[in-house]
């Protein structure tokens, strides 16, 4: 496993463990916490989809600009 993959693996593991600990120690009830997580996940999903659409559009326009006339 190269250095970059190790870094990404460690970062991902840290995010998962940190999230789990945060949820376990949260002062809210499970129902409230699930609602918050669902809302944030929906927001993140929407932003990710928008970013992906923009990247695809940029890539398409770069391809069109690269075509010979």
Quick: pLDDT tens for 53-69.
999 998 888 887 877 76
What is the pLDDT at residue 1? 61
**∠ CA 47-51-57 to the nearest 5 degrees?**
145
Give yes or no for a contact between 33 and 23, defined as CB atoms under 8 angstroms apart: yes
Spatial separation of the C-alpha atoms in residues 55 and 62, rounded to whole Å: 10
| pLDDT tens profile 30-51 | 888 889 889 988 998 999 999 9
The model carries a pTM of: 0.48
Q: Is 17 helix (H, G, I), strand (E, B) or coil?
A: helix
Q: Please tell me the predicted confidence (pLDDT) of residue 69.
A: 64
């Amino acid at each position: 496993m190269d250095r970059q993959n190790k870094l990404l693996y460690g970062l991902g593991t840290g995010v998962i463990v940190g999230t789990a600990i945060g949820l376990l120690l949260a002062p809210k009830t499970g129902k409230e916490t699930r609602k918050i997580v669902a809302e944030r996940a929906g927001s993140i999903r929407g932003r990710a989809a928008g970013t992906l659409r923009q990247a695809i559009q940029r890539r398409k326009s770069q391809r069109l600009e690269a075509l010979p006339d």
